[in-house]
Structure 1
């Protein structure tokens, strides 16, 4: 980036500290177009872009540009400067990358970029960008079990920070219906980080919700998805089993294997594990799988409550539209 001249700044919000020393202004190396006719400033970075392009996407900017400029408005290279109070330069670099794309399609939008676009699209009303990001998030973290099973995974966090970003964004923007699945997937993939408060970027309330949910889901799975392992519940051996001694021994082996997992694993939304079928006859395998699949339905219905959240329908009604 090269240095940009200081200027009297037009603001979208009132300045609260007029005496603070402003850092040197810099021009964006990527989004400073010679034919641009408006300058956006986020933090100390300035972007020279086209009013027409912003107006095409955003009703807030469209309405702003209809207002006449003050007679004493300072200009930079003939362009007014709009200071975007409270926004980060990084968020605007992400959004301008969508407004001025270099590639035809971006299918694998990372959670951090999704958060930036959603944050700004809500504030400045970029409805199509907002709808697209919401669709991606709700496809990844759906509200029905059928959608979860057939998930097309529009993006997949590769580390815990991706889930932390999604959960924080859900609270910040108001996308509450994605929280139950986001919490559950985080518990499955990053339990060790949640257990260690020094190794998580989750807020205290979200970490508490995860820990509460973990305890509740461990208890819930014992009476639902993993109920077939409880030999006292009489699910197994199956009434048509012809090798009950072997099937009971196979179940006991699975119980011993599970007991060696620390911390204990969740089997709430996972697909049936065919490795569990080893040593069991066909009728027992069928019965165990039936109990497991029915248990997933029950667990799904109770998933929000496990984390102290309202039911699915209420969560959806609270979502940003």
Structure 2
């Protein structure tokens, strides 16, 4: 009786069995070697067109789409498809199977704009995860117009001025700030770094050092230099907070105020309103002060009109130059 090892049993594409551990790892863009059973994958629920002519496989999820449509938008993808033409390439119903090392969620996000149209970006509220996927894969596969549009939206989320930041609202998750820093580094979008790094500084120290694990099991963490940059900024932010509290408390009005009692009450209201901003737990320095802005009602030599008495209120705030006050912080985080 022969002692030779019997050949491995071929698997169906829709098999749910785990692959043999000794199967070779398939590199991006190349089909499995000849005579080796392909790794099983499942059809994507959304992007599996029966008349598609190429199958992208990412994380054991297959996307059957249109080769020409994708190739027209990316030279990198066109070259990838051209490498899948050999006679021994894996095919299903005549369609070549191309393996990519991306996450299935990333490919799904990319196809949502390449197949459904780039106007998809502006027709609905964009999830930050989708935006991040567009930026990563558009950068990787050289899809210039998608990258440009996605980065424009990205810059609006992490602007370089407070007025834009205030209009943005809160992040969908503070953990997205880590992803934002990494995207800014990847694409050279340096204007987004101070804002993104500042928001990273609001995260727990453990998260700064170890990153965050997302729902799909992937981990996103800061690079070593950026993590160190945030740690170095923490005492600077704390010191700037103390300075800001002191400056806001030192509000004075001059002799031009016709109603001292009314002016004092108004100043007290402004002081309490401003100092209340610092009671928010977790924030080392509120965004207006970090961006070099005063409280909206605390402007040097400002005048306000009391709605009740009609008295003109003139007061002085000894806060120094907002730009210089924040140079130490932005210098650390930029």
Change (3 A) 1:186 1:36: same
Within the candidate set 119, 130, 138, 2:147 is matched to: 130
Higher strand share goes to which structure? 2
Q: Deviations over 1:3-56 (max 9, x none)?
A: 5489x99853679xx9x9975311212111122111111121111111111012
Change (3 A) 1:236 1:221: farther
Within the candidate set 111, 115, 121, 1:100 is matched to: 115
Cα distance in 2 between the residues matched to 1:110 and 1:186: 19
Q: Deviations over 1:176-234 (max 9, x none)?
A: 331211122455xxx3x4245599625474444334323213334555x5563364xxx
Equivalenced residues, count: 287
Residue 69 in structure 1 maps to residue 85 in structure 2: yes
Q: Is the 8 A contact 1:110 1:155 kept in 2?
A: no
Change (3 A) 1:263 1:58: closer
Cα distance in 2 between the residues matched to 1:152 and 1:100: 34
Within the candidate set 220, 229, 232, 2:248 is matched to: 229
Within the candidate set 158, 166, 187, 2:172 is matched to: 158
Q: Is the 8 A contact 1:32 1:47 kept in 2?
A: yes
Determine the structure 2 residue equivalent to 1:315.
Answer: none
Cα distance in 1 between the residues matched to 2:284 and 2:295: 14
Q: Is the 8 A contact 2:240 2:285 kept in 1?
A: no
For residue 88 of structure 1, report the CA deviation from its aligned partner: 0.9
Correspondence list, 1:1-321, <5 A: 4=14, 11-12=27-28, 24-66=40-82, 69-84=85-100, 86-101=101-116, 105-143=122-160, 145=161, 148-150=162-164, 157-187=171-201, 191=202, 193-195=203-205, 197=207, 201=212, 202-203=221-222, 205=224, 206-220=226-240, 228-229=247-248, 231=250, 236-238=252-254, 240=256, 243=260, 246=264, 250=268, 254=272, 265-267=284-286, 268=289, 269=291, 272-274=295-297, 282-284=313-315, 287-288=316-317, 291=319, 294-295=321-322, 297-299=323-325, 301-307=327-333, 309=334
Change (3 A) 1:82 1:100: same
If asked which structure has higher relative contact order (CA below 8 Å, sep 6+), I would say: 1
Q: Is the 8 A contact 1:237 1:247 kept in 2?
A: no
Change (3 A) 1:155 1:58: farther
TM-score, normalization: structure 2?
0.66
* Larger Rg over CA atoms: 2
Q: How large is the Cα RMSD of the aligned pairs?
A: 4.6
Q: Is the 8 A contact 1:109 1:155 kept in 2?
A: no
Q: Unaligned 5+ residue runs, structure 1?
A: 310-321
Higher helix share goes to which structure? 1
Q: Is the 8 A contact 1:140 1:154 kept in 2?
A: yes
Q: Deviations over 1:211-260 (max 9, x none)?
A: 4323213334555x5563364xxx73446467499489949975986886
Q: Unaligned 5+ residue runs, structure 2?
A: 1-11, 213-220, 307-311
TM-score, normalization: structure 1?
0.68
